[in-house]
Amino acid sequence: MKHNTFLWFFTVFSLFVSLIFARPWWKDAVFYEIFVRSFYDSNGDGIGDLQGIIQKLDYLTNLGVNAIWLMPIHPSPSYHGYDVLDYTSVNPQYGTMEDFEKLLEEAHKRGVRVIIDLVLNHTSSSHPWFIKSSKKDPTYDEFYIWRKDITESGWGRPWGGGSKWDVWIRNSSREEYYYAAFWSGMPDLNHRNQKVKEEVYKFTKFWLDKGVDGFRLDAIRYLIETGPGKGQADTEETISWFEEYNQFVKSVNPNAVLVGEVWTDNRTVSRYYSTNGIMDLCFDFDRSGAFLSSDKNNIVRAYLTQKRYTAPADFYAPFLANHDVFRAMNQLGNNEKLARLAAVCLLTATGTPFLYYGEEIGISQIENGDDKYKRTPLPWTTDKKRNYGFTTGRPWFQMYVANKKVNVESQIKDKNSLLSLYRKLIHIRKNFPEFRSENLEIIPNNNPNLLVYKRTEGENTSWVLINFSGDKEDIDVPQLENKQLQNLITDRKITIKKGVKISGLDFLILKEI
């Protein structure tokens, strides 16, 4: 009996220790951001849907992706979904709750995690909560931020610009003004209200119980305001609120990830890190700009600046572009060679990388200020007459394909395509632990065009050398001389006697063996 008791205690203790010290799954993830409406249409109505994602899961796993982020899937009056009508339903244009549950099941079968967008800062102005609040329903009276008089409340947008009165909107039903940081159709929730908090916790638990693996949290900087200007973003109350929210999420599912959108510099982003838990990851906007600048000095500066702050390197999640900015290919001047270098920067970087759908095939866009152009349907085939394989119906928005090679079908067949490079880089990241570690050392050199850094984890060491010049460049890296190396792109073994030659707008990834 004593032996059995000891064995039981030892087993439970071992499980407890493994849970406490286990490496979080997201540190080994490569995320893929999906705008459901534009990914793949399974039923011919011109709108991408959840069944479409299910049908393309094998494409994602073959690419090497092991986590997906779905932009808002909730009912909404807008095409984008960031003004939510119902936090516990699925947008009927995308399918049913059964479709979503099937997506979770099929993704998890393949080892793919699924996180969804949660928009906590605001709702739609058509949300039942807001309608009831505008009528002073006692339950919902203080769900939003109301003012009878705004003569002293001319705050302006949190990010500047426009009129100082833009955020206060007159409501004729209540005959008061409500606060809406983004626009009149998105009234801000009053997160000082305990009833609001209870509702947020309720729908958060709803999705965790469904089996989602976490959340991408939209616009979290603006959750709780204390006044105009600096008081509209990154307040201590906001950060404290999310620290409690993190604790709640982990109490429901300790393995759930929280990814924060804090669209600003990393000095501020780092405030959302705590050893007690606030966000697990935050997007790294500094490195996004640096990677797309194709400038060695900008990239070095981004890495060195990041080290000044308290958050660890793998807290900052690198990406190239997302649904709010021009496509990466546009920012790179539609230069495929630069797109290849940007992919190397992203997928050999510290932190958990995020890809925006279509980035892997070099999608570009018409440079129009309307955000729809940043979120156009994904071309799957070469068949222009059949909407490039996206839908058998009429696409919800016009498709833009820069050339006949910008589609999945063509690039899967081409071992030298951008898609093939992405697949190779993701394979390297997944198979060599140094590329998933926090350790990245910039190696100084006097050539303004050559970026060299070393990635290490235990006894594993690899080197990344990138030439941002259009000309062939020579570089001496004494640490590499006379070492046995493997080119991880070509799989060839080489030994460097003296100096390395790198072609213009090219790179090397070398592993010490």
Q: pLDDT digits over 451-482, tens only?
A: 999 999 999 999 999 999 999 999 999 999 99
Region at 285 (left for phi over 0; alpha for psi -120 to 50; beta for the rest): alpha
What is the amino acid identity at position 358?
G
Residue 72's φ and ψ, nearest 5 degrees, are -45, 130
Closest residue by Cα to residue 107 from 71, 51, 67? 67
Q: pLDDT digits over 353-382, tens only?
A: 999 999 999 999 999 999 999 999 999 999
What is the amino acid identity at position 261?
E
pLDDT at res. 150 = 85
pLDDT at res. 14 = 40
Which 3 state secondary structure label does DSSP give 205? Answer: helix
Q: pLDDT digits over 163-217, tens only?
A: 888 999 999 999 999 999 999 999 999 999 999 999 999 999 999 999 999 999 9
Question: Do the domains spanning 122-188 and 438-512 agree at the CATH topology level?
Answer: no
Task: Identify the bridge partners of residue 486 per DSSP, sorted by sequence position.
Answer: 493, 511
Residue with tokens 């200020």: 369
Residue with tokens 């959750």: 223
pLDDT at res. 152 = 67
Determine the Cα–Cα distance for residues 11 and 444; give it in Å rounded to an integer.
49
Residue 127's φ and ψ, nearest 5 degrees, are -65, 140
Active-site residue (options: 176, 261, 314, 473): 261
1 pLDDT above the threshold of 80: no
13-17, 99-103, 141-145, 153-157: least confidently modelled range: 13-17
Closest residue by Cα to residue 352 from 287, 308, 413? 287
pLDDT at res. 4 = 55
CATH architecture of 438-512: Sandwich (2.60)
Count other Cβ atoms within 10 Å, centred on residue 247: 12
| Helix (H) or strand (E) segment spanning residue 258 | strand 257-260
Average pLDDT over residues 399-423: 96
For the chain, the residue count is: 513
Per the structure block, which two tokens stand in for 45?
């109505």
Q: Is 218 annotated as catalytic? A: yes
| pLDDT more than 90, % of the chain | 92
What integer best gives the mean pLDDT of the chain?
A: 95
21 pLDDT above the threshold of 80: no
Give whole-number Cα distances, 328 to 319, 345, 361, 374, in Å.
10, 13, 11, 10
Sheet strands side by side (includes 440-442): 440-442, 450-457, 460-467, 506-512, 484-487, 493-495
DSSP 87: T
16 pLDDT above the threshold of 80: no
pLDDT at res. 5 = 53
Per the structure block, which two tokens stand in for 464?
């990344």
Q: What is the Cβ-side half-sphere exposure of residue 295, based on CA atoms within 13 angstroms? A: 10
Determine the Cα–Cα distance for residues 163 and 5; give it in Å rounded to an integer.
70
Return the CATH number of the domain spanning residue range 25-120+194-431: 3.20.20.80
pLDDT bucket at 161, cuts 50 / 70 / 90: confident
Domains of the chain, by residue range, sit at: 25-120+194-431, 122-188, 438-512
Contact call for residues 390 and 40 (beta carbons, < 8 A):
yes
CATH fold of 122-188, please?
Oligo-1,6-glucosidase; domain 2 (3.90.400)
Q: What is the Cβ-side half-sphere exposure of residue 369, based on CA atoms within 13 angstroms? A: 0
Contact call for residues 49 and 70 (beta carbons, < 8 A):
no
Determine the Cα–Cα distance for residues 453 and 376; give it in Å rounded to an integer.
36
Active-site residue (options: 33, 218, 286, 314): 218
CA dihedral 191, 196, 202, 204 (to 10 degrees): -30
Give whole-number Cα distances, 270 to 31, 301, 383, 389, in Å.
21, 16, 46, 42
- Which alpha helices (DSSP H) does 22-91 contain, by range? 36-39, 50-55, 57-63
Which 3 state secondary structure label does DSSP give 150? Answer: coil
- Helix, strand, coil abundance in the chain, percent, nearest 5: 35, 15, 45
Burial classification of residue 216, based on how many CB atoms lie within 10 Å of its CB (0-12 exposed, 13-18 middle, 19 or more buried):
buried
DSSP 319: B
Closest residue by Cα to residue 314 from 69, 118, 25, 117? 25
pLDDT at res. 12 = 39
Q: pLDDT digits over 300-351, tens only?
A: 999 999 999 999 999 999 999 999 999 999 999 999 999 999 999 999 999 9
13 pLDDT above the threshold of 50: no
Determine the Cα–Cα distance for residues 123 and 99; give it in Å rounded to an integer.
24
Q: Is 261 annotated as catalytic? A: yes
Q: What is the Cβ-side half-sphere exposure of residue 464, based on CA atoms within 13 angstroms? A: 27
Determine the Cα–Cα distance for residues 70 and 61; give it in Å rounded to an integer.
16
Residue with tokens 């095939």: 361
- How many helices (H) and strands (E) the chain has is answered by 15, 19
pTM, entire model: 0.95
Contacts of 302 (CB under 8 A, 6+ apart): 286, 287, 289, 290
pLDDT at res. 165 = 86
